[in-house]
Structure 1
């Protein structure tokens, strides 16, 4: 019974849930049209520079991170989300992982919007890359400065997952600003959650 409870406790519910949400949203966009159609994706909530700067549709910074342009875009993001999310969630807990993912996704989209706005570029963007690179930033912080949160994970495993994430970023057709922004926001959020306000929960105790 105790083993069963431990298994339930360490199941990466948030990571699995995020993967399911992204997949379901993708199916819905495909059923209603094509996820590779810019107009269709705009109607679903992809982030367009002028829609935010002129129409004040700031909610697109949130909805855009659950939309993907085509199956390959979705699959590559879900692969890295699974690799990073399952490990991080076991170490830092369900709530912390959810917060890092969401804050990084919105934060990366906000910075990306500001960048394109300052450059006077009209860009339609979508994808979970900012949020996923936020998890990568959190992994970097934990691996370097907060190993107590991922105590059972070797440094080699951390490096392997980071290499996978970097390869994913280099090969994905998304602006570098989204990747770097997500990495930066995830790193800062991890500092707040794991060091500044860590609570009393460590790797071998109960977690959020």
Structure 2
């Protein structure tokens, strides 16, 4: 699943680059960026499509790096399908909360990226670190906590970052993971 998500991100980046550029706001909106511009307010599918769009190569590179490093262990824990649901649902929830935030401020936004979904993976690992301690060793827990602190600081310190999508994805991943492991167990674990 992680490989398919990476391929989807790269393919969409190439398509954006060939059709107006990945940093062109008009191109991003045409290809499915999340926005609260009135003309697009009813297009709910943008909460999903924007996850696969990236504004510039560095944006794609950072999210792809996070996917390659952190996603495979979570995919092994959950299995591909449940992991895919976690990833996409976290990204969508992060986008829903981000759009609600910008609407409450009366600010216009155009937002793209897999960061909310990536933070959903971090949120799932936070759940594991806090409530399934036997799955994660102490060294990995410390690494996770450090990563989260730096990630949150980075989200607020850098301009142009949709910190609400990051926070929404993190919270979404935490709670979605908890629901998945309770409500959607693999067949071999069911009693």
Displacement after TM superposition at 1:51 (Å): 4.4
How many residue pairs get aligned? The number is: 185
Correspondent of 1:74 among 29, 37, 60 = 60
CA distance 1:115–1:88, shift in 2 (3 Å): same
What TM-score, normalized to structure 1? 0.81
Backbone CA RMSD of aligned residues: 2.0
Paired with 1:158 and 1:78, the residues of 2 have a C-alpha distance of 22
Structure with bigger gyration radius: 1
1:19–1:78 contact (8 Å) kept in structure 2: yes
What TM-score, normalized to structure 2? 0.88
Q: Displaced runs of 4+ in structure 1, greater than 4 A?
A: 199-202
Aligned partner of 1:92 in structure 2 is: 78
Displacement after TM superposition at 1:197 (Å): 3.9
CA distance 1:65–1:166, shift in 2 (3 Å): farther
Correspondent of 1:103 among 89, 94, 100 = 89
Paired with 2:150 and 2:60, the residues of 1 have a C-alpha distance of 16
Aligned partner of 1:59 in structure 2 is: 45
Q: Which runs of 5+ in 1 are unaligned?
A: 1-13, 203-208
1:76–1:168 contact (8 Å) kept in structure 2: no
Paired with 1:51 and 1:71, the residues of 2 have a C-alpha distance of 29
Q: Which runs of 5+ in 2 are unaligned?
A: none
